[in-house]
């Protein structure tokens, strides 16, 4: 069977013949189902789409007649009745709309792989499936409601095609097609921007500028509007003559996040709720926000994740997910600022481009989602104020919120659509048990099943726990399990309507089925305050081998007392975590709880330290005590694994530092110290400061002079990155005093070097040189050749800034020889850059250019984009002063492109050079 909706609505049978669908009504019913293939479409929505706002009184009978006729034509099982409506079963390769979506996905993958020509081929194949205006022969209400969305898809594909063709260098071949598309869509700004840049790339700059003037005048005259961002940027690029050599791509390939947790394979029912969400997904225009509300354990998250997986192909620009932990028993509610920052990380925003303020980060987040079709799932929200900063500002996205609160203000102010999730109907509760235990087992004891459902109050969480109890003991009669629930009185309170107390009672029944070692592990998990935990961390927490911890987690997962929400990462529902915390206080003494907490801190500290050494092997070291008995730290294999570990454990580590018990001060400041390289690489400035303020308090309580000095140095670095230079200066001067009192000359040397860096940025090169020279002397006395070399380079650089070029040259040449001998590639690159500057100031422009090229080679090798751009800018300056204006402009353009890509503030200086 082949279905077509991208043109006249027709169906071709297996022999290729067109099937007789009849008049507009059955044709429209079929099209409405096909537009939501493999999803339930409610009868009310079908009627509205096909008959409009004023259907005849006999409309439901007509729907049944037309559906019956379609079944006879297509096959009895193709269209099925699923309350509250119907579903059409469509297989791969049967629907042209699906083929278009699949081709577009392949094209994006080709672009990601750097094959724009192949991407263009896929996109042309997708566009070829349009055989005219979509939904031809359908009723006016269906065309009016669904036609604009389909037209939008086609135009978006055209825009992607033009980007791919231009990226493949075929701008001359495609310019006429772009012009035709502009004529058909006269107010589509992205198409106008593409045409302007493509004309410019073809050498038709005057015509490109005329096009901009025309659309600007037309927007002002007909719409009373100014050109948007894309048009303004295209105009500026033409004026700057900076269209890329391969063409003029308007929209770069975007990272597509896929953050949804794992779907639950035993999900059942919820047909009405799913249909309502499907309807919201099908709406065009306006805000699309759904709020799923209900009591704890009713399955809000399960529904949200299941539906999100089911419709993710409708959101090709990605799916974002965050657990807002609004009702966390420990009171650790996710700050919206942390959630926004996590989304920006998922959208691959570079650290140098990350704004400092929360408001600016929200603005960037919404800007990145503008024009995208993305799904945002905000799970377990506490209130509307926690949600609002996370709402996108574009109608193409859909936001799905779950909460125990009603979020009435979100419904009133943001037009969110509320969806109340109630207890499962008895039939769906029975299906849930059947999927977990097998229909045969239920059929043998139907009365026992009825009692289990009744005594579980049809609450999904309670049913899941009872099913886990039965599955763990397959030989137990269901009647015995039903009787156990009655005998212990575990579910008595369910009749009183207090869900939290009821769930806790049901959890007690499941807890007693655990083996003794697993029960202990479950209790100890109540001491872990982070969002999730690995098997290795669980092993250290419990003081057992990793294999035993993994076995315990497997048993807990099967009992539904923990969930493996991501591969290898285990999370407790907030009620489960609270229940585990109650149990550990009741059954485990103060000494056992304290020992478990210390083992957990040991685990994270030693793993973080090992990961940091991989990320920055040149960094100074701190003293650690050996891990305690029973602790099994992890050992990341390489830098990639180390960075991945920090990324996964980021929130856990921050929570440990900021919320650790008072008797853990030594762990706290050392753990904060071990996180600094990660914070530097990823730009987590706020966490950087918060953890080090907590670390400074911890080191001060311990009266640890070295600990305080180390923390103050890092805190100064964090303040420097926030642009707070006076605070950085103050922290470093305190650190100097403490290092001197502790008798640590290397620490003093590091701090003098840091001070020289801060003073240089404050415009005080002479004062900076004094501190750099002090660092140099201390390194020389200590015999630290690597740091001596870096200090020589710093002194050379600051001498050059002060005009002492011969002295600067002498120091930097010494530094270069030492750095090349030690294999410090980053230090070597920095020194080549200093030498380039020195030769430039001495008037030796060719030697300056050669030194800059050596620096560039190494900066590219180590992946340092920021310093690559800075060196390119200085190379341009040297070429300009040598009279080679074309070479200077080329270097500046490359520098500006990198700075623009990073969102770096130094881009303005380079653009100013180009403008002059």
Alpha-carbon span 256 to 346, nearest angstrom = 8
pLDDT of amino acid 254: 54
Rounded Cα distance between 711 and 717, Å, is 10
Q: What are the φ and ψ backbone dihedral angles of 356, each rounded to 5 degrees?
A: -80, -45
Could you give the percent of the chain with pLDDT greater than 90? Answer: 30
Q: Quick one: pLDDT at residue 249? A: 42
User: What dihedral do alpha carbons 119, 120, 125, 126 form, nearest 10°?
Assistant: 70
The H or E element containing residue 2 is strand 2-4
- Stretch 316-324: mean pLDDT, rounded? 90
Cα 403 → chain centroid? 21
User: What pLDDT, on the 0 to 100 scale, is given for residue 291?
Assistant: 94
Q: What is the pLDDT of residue 550?
A: 92
250 vs 541 pLDDT, higher one = 541
* Span 529-549, average pLDDT: 92
679 and 616 Cβ atoms separated by less than 8 Å: no
Query: Is residue 251 over pLDDT 80?
Result: no
- What was the pLDDT predicted at 452? 82
CA distance 327 to 81: 38
501-525 average pLDDT score:
74
* Burial class of residue 20 (count of CB atoms within 10 Å of its CB; 0-12, 13-18, 19+): exposed
- Residue partners of 221: CB distance under 8 A and separation at least 6: none
Pick from 25-29, 683-687, 866-870 the range whose average pLDDT is largest: 25-29
Checking if the pLDDT of 627 tops 70, the result is yes
Please, are residues 181 and 191 in contact by the beta-carbon 8 Å criterion?
Answer: yes
Instruction: Give the residue-averaged pLDDT of 602-629.
Output: 88
Single out the residue of 635, 401, 434 nearest to residue 536, CA to CA.
Answer: 635
Average pLDDT, the chain: 85
Report pLDDT for 14.
81
**What percentage of the chain has pLDDT greater than the value 70?**
93
Out of 315-319, 548-552, 640-644, 901-905, the most confident range is 548-552
Q: Quick one: average pLDDT of 223-239?
A: 82
| Alpha carbon 637 to its chain's center | 24
Residue of higher predicted confidence among 632 and 680: 632
Give pLDDT tens digits for 433-463. 888 888 888 999 999 899 888 777 677 877 8
**The pLDDT of residue 248:** 41
Angle between the N-to-C axes of helices 516-524 and 546-558, in degrees from 0 to 180, rounded to the nearest 10: 90
Summarize pLDDT for 731-744 with one digit per residue, the tens: 999 999 999 898 99
Q: Which residue has the higher pLDDT, 230 or 303?
A: 303
- Comparing 121-130, 274-283, 320-329, the range with the smallest average pLDDT is 320-329
pLDDT number for residue 243: 57
Q: What is the mean pLDDT of residues 698-715?
A: 89
Indicate the pTM of the whole model: 0.51
Span of 197-206, 625-634, 860-869 with lowest mean pLDDT: 860-869
Per-residue pLDDT, 588: 92
pLDDT value at residue 576 = 67
| Mean pLDDT confidence for 598-620 | 89
501 pLDDT band, cuts 50/70/90, is very low
Asked, as a colleague might, if the bond just before 497 is cis with ω within 30 of 0, I would say: no
């Amino acid at each position: 069977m082949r279905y077509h909706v991208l043109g006249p609505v027709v169906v071709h049978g297996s022999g290729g013949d067109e099937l007789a669908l009849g008049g507009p009504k059955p044709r429209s019913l079929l099209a409405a189902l096909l537009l939501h293939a493999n999803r339930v479409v409610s009868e009310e929505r079908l009627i509205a789409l096909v008959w409009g706002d004023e259907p005849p009184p006999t409309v439901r009978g007509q729907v049944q007649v037309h559906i019956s006729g379609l079944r006879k034509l297509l096959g009895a099982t193709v269209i099925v009745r699923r309350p509250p409506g119907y579903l059409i079963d469509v297989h791969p390769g049967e629907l042209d709309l699906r083929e278009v979506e699949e081709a577009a996905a392949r094209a994006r993958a080709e672009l990601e792989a750097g094959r724009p020509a192949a991407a263009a081929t896929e996109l042309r194949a997708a566009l070829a499936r349009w055989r005219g205006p979509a939904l031809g022969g359908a009723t006016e209400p269906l065309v009016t409601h669904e036609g604009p969305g389909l037209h939008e898809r086609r135009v978006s594909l055209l825009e992607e095609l033009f980007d791919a063709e231009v990226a493949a260098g075929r701008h001359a071949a495609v310019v006429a097609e772009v012009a035709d598309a502009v004529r058909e869509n006269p107010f589509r700004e992205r198409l106008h921007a593409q045409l302007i840049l493509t004309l410019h790339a073809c050498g038709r700059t005057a015509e490109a500028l005329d096009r901009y003037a025309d659309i600007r005048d037309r927007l002002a005259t007909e719409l009373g509007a100014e050109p948007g961002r894309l048009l303004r940027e295209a105009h500026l690029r033409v004026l700057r003559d900076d269209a890329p050599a391969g063409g003029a791509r308007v929209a770069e390939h975007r990272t597509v996040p896929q953050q949804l947790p794992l779907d639950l394979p035993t999900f059942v029912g919820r047909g009405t709720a799913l249909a309502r969400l499907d309807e919201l997904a099908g709406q065009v225009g306006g805000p699309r926000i759904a709020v799923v509300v209900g009591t704890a354990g009713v399955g809000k998250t399960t529904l949200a994740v299941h539906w999100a997986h089911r419709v993710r192909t409708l959101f090709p620009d990605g799916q974002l997910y965050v657990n807002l932990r609004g009702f966390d028993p420990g009171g650790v509610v996710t700050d919206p600022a942390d959630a926004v920052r996590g989304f920006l990380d998922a959208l691959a925003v570079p650290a140098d481009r990350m704004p400092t303020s929360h408001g600016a980060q929200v603005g960037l987040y919404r800007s990145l989602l503008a024009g995208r079709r993305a799904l945002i799932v905000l799970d377990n929200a506490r209130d509307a104020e926690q949600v609002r900063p996370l709402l996108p500002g574009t109608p193409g996205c859909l936001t799905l919120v779950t909460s125990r609160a009603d979020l009435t203000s979100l419904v009133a102010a943001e037009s969110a659509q509320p969806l109340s999730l109630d207890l499962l109907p008895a039939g769906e509760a029975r299906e849930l048990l059947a999927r977990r235990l097998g229909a045969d087992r239920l059929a043998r004891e139907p009365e026992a099943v009825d009692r289990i459902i009744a005594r579980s109050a049809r609450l999904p969480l309670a049913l899941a726990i009872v099913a886990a109890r039965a599955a763990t003991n397959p030989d137990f009669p269901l009647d015995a399990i039903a009787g156990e629930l009655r005998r212990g009185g575990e579910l008595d309170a369910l009749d009183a309507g207090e869900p939290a107390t009821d769930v806790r009672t049901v959890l007690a029944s499941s807890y007693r089925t655990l083996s003794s070692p697993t029960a202990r592990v479950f209790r100890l998990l109540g001491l872990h305050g982070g969002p999730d935990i690995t098997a290795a961390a669980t092993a250290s927490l419990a003081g057992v081998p990793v294999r035993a911890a993994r076995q315990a987690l497997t048993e807990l997962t099967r009992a539904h007392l923990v969930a493996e929400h991501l591969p290898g990462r285990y999370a407790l529902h907030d009620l489960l975590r609270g229940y585990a915390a109650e149990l550990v206080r009741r059954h485990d003494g103060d000494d056992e709880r304290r020992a478990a907490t210390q083992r957990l801190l040991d685990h994270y500290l030693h793993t973080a330290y090992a990961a940091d050494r991989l990320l920055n092997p040149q960094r100074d070291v701190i003293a650690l005590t050996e891990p305690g008995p029973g602790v099994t730290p992890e050992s990341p294999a390489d830098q990639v694994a180390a960075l991945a570990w920090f990324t996964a454990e980021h929130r856990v580590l921050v929570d440990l530092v900021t919320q650790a018990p008072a008797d853990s001060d030594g762990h706290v400041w050392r753990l904060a110290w071990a996180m600094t390289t990660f914070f530097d690489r990823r730009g987590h400035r706020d966490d950087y400061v918060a953890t080090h303020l907590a670390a400074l308090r911890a080191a001060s309580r311990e009266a640890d002079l070295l600990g305080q000095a180390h923390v103050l140095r890092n805190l100064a670095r964090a303040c420097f990155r926030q642009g707070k230079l006076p605070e950085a200066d103050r922290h470093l001067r305190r650190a100097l005093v403490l290092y001197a009192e502790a008798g640590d000359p290397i620490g003093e040397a590091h701090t003098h070097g840091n001070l020289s860096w801060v003073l240089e940025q404050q415009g005080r090169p002479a004062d900076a040189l004094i501190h750099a020279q002090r660092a140099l002397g201390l390194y020389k006395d200590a015999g630290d050749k690597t740091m001596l070399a870096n200090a020589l380079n710093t002194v050379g650089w600051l001498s050059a800034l002060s005009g002492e070029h011969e002295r600067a040259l002498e120091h930097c040449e010494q530094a270069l020889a030492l750095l090349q001998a030690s294999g410090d590639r980053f230090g070597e690159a920095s020194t080549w850059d200093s030498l380039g500057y020195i030769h430039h100031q001495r008037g030796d422009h060719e030697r300056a250019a050669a030194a800059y090229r050596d620096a560039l080679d190494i900066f590219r090798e180590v992946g340092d984009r920021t310093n690559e751009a800075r060196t390119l800018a200085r190379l341009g300056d040297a070429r300009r002063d040598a009279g080679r204006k074309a070479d200077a402009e080329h270097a500046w353009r490359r520098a500006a492109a990198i700075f623009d890509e990073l969102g770096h503030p130094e881009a303005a200086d380079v653009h100013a050079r180009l403008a002059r």
